[in-house]
Amino acid sequence: MTFELTKDYLDHIQSAIDASDDTLLRTEMEELFPADISGILDELTPESAHYLLSLLDKTVGAEILANLDQTERTALLKLFTSAELAPFINQMDSDDAVDVLNQQPIQIREEVIGFLEDREQARFILDLLHYEDGVAGSLMQKELIRINVNLTVNACIEEIRQQAEDVENVYAIYVVDDVGKLLGLVSLKKIVLARKNAKIADIYDEDIVFVETYRPVAEVAEVMQKYDLDAIPVVNVQQRLLGRITIDDVVDVITDQAEEDIQVISGLSGEVEEDDSVWQRSKVQLPWLVAGALGSLMAATVINGFQSELGKVAALAAFIPIIGSTGGNVGIQTSSLILQSLADTSGLSVTFGRRLLRTLLVAVINGLVVGLIAGTYTFIIGEPRLFFVVATSLLAVVMLASFMGTVTPLLLNKIGINPAVASGPFITTANDLIGIGVYFMIAQWLLAEV
């Protein structure tokens, strides 16, 4: 049955915490999955969450800590002493342990490692701590099953039994030589079906996909997606097996990147959550709102510069909204397609000229259709003299917006800036400004005799 966190249940848990009713709390938590308990901790104060977490089995607590939201976890861990945190770290996969420890001051980090009972875990953590964020080495875990190519199947099974105690999910058995160089992998099915005295060298698969420790995590995600992998081995420059990256960690990376891009496209200058304070939410929304307001003021200045045209043909004002909104929509649509193509690096690359030509051809078709529809409307409202003004302006605006929506993300990507910033408020505001200017210049030209 799916657990549903209600206010009454949360009040019930809080009352038990206030009364220090450890027996009730342990009984209640034993009925829940770690993910459900994480939801409860998110709603409690850090002090109450710390108290509840301290009552849990360390294995369960480790899983909860590893999957807590980073902001919530940072606030919670401030209440833990190094001695309190160490048992939880001891039960985590090495990659999760490093994620947690990287949020701690260096002194706390070293104290926790010193308190660890599992010295192999301590060694794994120390091996991973020196990798920079954003590379495969920072994402990998040391826990895996490796066997020597010279073993027999019977000896291999015994080795798997010993190593599997520390490995939560066994996706593959990696085969290495005497110096630890990755040679390939062997499936559990082959091991089970093979004769006991058969050599691993005779049944393992040499065709294996791997990544080096220095590869960007985005590249790791692409490789795993391309080859539909549950886990991928990580090697050093000598191709010695160091660890593996599992699909759950890659999904986290993809999700985080998607959330970041959505926030940037939406005009948010930083991460924002529903339960953030008013000031925090305002702070991440204001920069782009101010930029948008300044752009709109510039557009108003452009309109003010064409007061004489508006004085001659007041109906021109009726079409300002469609000029601005069409340019903004086209710019967003085009830039979104370009961002999608930039994100997909698995296919053949398309030259800038070809991208631009295809974009402009689409813009011509779209501009003609939208222009004719809007132009026809000028007859309906009794302003047939505006037919060519509106139709031509919309065609020009659609083409210009398509051009900007193509060029801007490609240019930013070329100079190493996240191309997602080319979308949202930036392109919308720029196209409003350009579109309105083009509209009035065309009106000035075509209505010169008026």
DSSP 16-42: HHHTT-HHHHHHHHHTS-HHHHHHHHH
Confidence of residue 210 (pLDDT cuts 50, 70, 90): very high
User: Which band of pLDDT confidence, cut at 50, 70 and 90, is reported for residue 337?
Assistant: confident
- AA letter at 371: G
- Report which of 59, 60, 45 is spatially closest to residue 13, judged by C-alpha positions: 45
User: For 305-386, where are the alpha helices, taking DSSP H only?
Assistant: 307-312, 320-343, 352-380
Please give the average per-residue pLDDT across 342-369, as a whole number: 75
Round to whole Å and give the CA distance between 92 and 412: 40
Can you tell me the distance from the alpha carbon of 210 to that of 235, in angstroms, rounded to the nearest whole number? 7
Q: What is the pLDDT of residue 382?
A: 83
Both tokens of 188, joined, read 């559990």
In this prediction, residue 262 has a pLDDT band, given cuts at 50, 70 and 90, of low
Give residue 425's pLDDT.
65
What's the pLDDT score for residue 344?
Answer: 61
For residue 274, pLDDT over 60 is answered with no
Mean pLDDT within 183-201 = 91
Handedness of CA 369, 371, 375, 377 (dihedral sign): positive
Q: What's the average model confidence in pLDDT over 252-264? A: 68
pLDDT at residue 51, rounded to an integer: 94
**Residue 406: per-residue pLDDT:** 84
Residue 37 pLDDT level (bands cut at 50, 70, 90): very high
DSSP secondary structure letter of residue 132: P
Average pLDDT over residues 197-221: 92
Residue 214: its pLDDT value, please? Answer: 93
At residue 445 the predicted structure's pLDDT band, cuts being 50, 70 and 90, is confident
Judge whether 268 lies within some domain: no
Residues 116, 167: one domain? no
Nearest-10 Cα torsion for 177, 178, 181, 186: 30
Instruction: Classify strands 231-235 and 146-148 as parallel, antiparallel or unpaired.
Output: unpaired
Higher pLDDT, 75 or 337: 75
pLDDT confidence of residue 271: 57
29 and 119 inside one domain: yes
Per-residue confidence (pLDDT) for residue 422, from 0 to 100: 55
Q: Same structural domain for residues 173 and 227?
A: yes
Q: Are residues 120 and 157 in the same domain?
A: no
Domain count, the chain: 3
pLDDT of residue 311: 64
User: Residue 192 and residue 279: Cα distance in Å, rounded?
Assistant: 60
Residues 6+ apart with CB under 8 A from 185: 172, 173, 174, 175, 204, 205, 208, 233
* Whole-number Å distance between alpha carbons of 124 and 216: 21
SS3 state of residue 240 = strand
Q: Kindly tell me the sign of the dihedral angle through the C-alpha atoms of 317, 318, 320, 323.
A: negative
Q: By three-state DSSP, how is residue 146 classified?
A: strand
Q: Is residue 357 part of a domain?
A: yes
- Across the range 405-417, mean pLDDT stands at 79
Residues 254-263 as b or e (16 or more Cβ within 10 Å = b): beebeeebeb
Q: Are residues 441 and 418 in the same domain?
A: yes
Q: Does residue 276 sit in helix, strand or coil? A: coil
Mean pLDDT calculated for residue range 149-156: 93
pLDDT at residue number 310: 67
Is there a single domain that holds both residue 230 and residue 286? no
pLDDT surpassing 70 at residue 66: yes
Other beta carbons within 10 angstroms of residue 50's beta carbon come to 18
Pairing of strands 211-212, 231-235: parallel
Whether 267 is in a domain gets the answer no
Q: Which of 3-17, 231-245, 273-287 has the lowest mean pLDDT?
A: 273-287
User: DSSP string of 405-424?
Assistant: HHHHHHHHHHTTS-GGGGST
Helices (H), 228-351: 247-265, 278-304, 307-312, 320-343
Distance of CA 264 to the CA centre of its chain: 11
The pLDDT confidence band at residue 130, using thresholds 50, 70 and 90, is: confident
Q: Report d(CA 173, CA 32) in Å as an integer.
A: 33
Do residues 81 and 14 both lie within one domain?
yes
Whether 179 and 102 map to the same domain: the answer is no
Q: Which residue has the tokens 């030209």?
A: 445
What local confidence, expressed as pLDDT, does residue 281 receive? 64
| Cβ pair 145, 174 in contact under 8 A | yes
Mean per-residue pLDDT for 280-306? 69
Assess if residue 1 is contained within a domain.
no
Residue 398 lies in a domain: yes
Assess whether 287 and 436 both reside in one domain: yes
Residue 298, classed as helix, strand or coil, is helix
How high is the pLDDT of residue 403? 87
Give the single-character DSSP code of 316: G
Contact 242, 142 (CB under 8 A): yes
CATH number, domain containing residue 385: 1.10.357.20
Q: Is the pLDDT of residue 259 over 70?
A: no
> How would residue 149 be classed by pLDDT, with cut points 50, 70 and 90?
very high
**46: in domain:** yes
Give whichever of 141-145, 246-250, 415-419 has the largest mean pLDDT.
141-145
Query: Which band of pLDDT confidence, cut at 50, 70 and 90, is reported for residue 280?
Result: low
Number of Cβ atoms within 10 Å of the Cβ of 120: 12
Question: 167: pLDDT confidence band, cut at 50, 70 and 90?
Answer: confident
The neighbouring-strand residues paired with 243 are: 234
% of the chain at pLDDT higher than 70: 84
15 shares its domain with 99? yes
Question: Quick one: which of 7, 71, 66, 8 has its CA closest to 35?
Answer: 66
182-186 β-sheet, strand order: 146-148, 173-176, 182-186
Name the pLDDT band for 324 (thresholds 50, 70, 90). confident
Q: What is the pLDDT of residue 83?
A: 92
Percent above pLDDT 90 for the chain:
34
- Domain hosting 217: range is 146-251
Query: 104, 134, 164: which is the final residue of a domain?
Result: 134
In a domain? residue 141: no
Among 134, 166, 196, identify where a domain stops: 134
Q: Is residue 257 part of a domain?
A: no
For residues 253 and 139, the answer to whether their CB atoms sit within 8 Å is yes
Q: Tens of pLDDT along 361-380? A: 888 999 899 989 988 988 88
Q: Return d(Cα 149, Cα 177) in angstroms, integer.
A: 6
- What confidence tier does 289 reach under pLDDT thresholds 50, 70, 90? low
- Verify that 307 and 414 share a domain, yes or no: yes
The pLDDT assigned to 208 comes to 92
What is the pLDDT, as a whole number, of residue 330? 86
- What CATH number corresponds to the domain at position 224? 3.10.580.10
- Which of 74, 104, 134 is the last residue in one of the domains? 134
As a whole number, the mean pLDDT across the chain is: 83
- pLDDT single digits (tens) 82-110: 999 999 999 998 989 998 998 888 899 99
Say if residue 240 is in the same domain as residue 292.
Answer: no
CATH number of the domain encompassing residue 68: 1.25.60.10
Q: Which residues contact 49 (CB under 8 A, 6 or more apart)?
A: 41, 72, 76
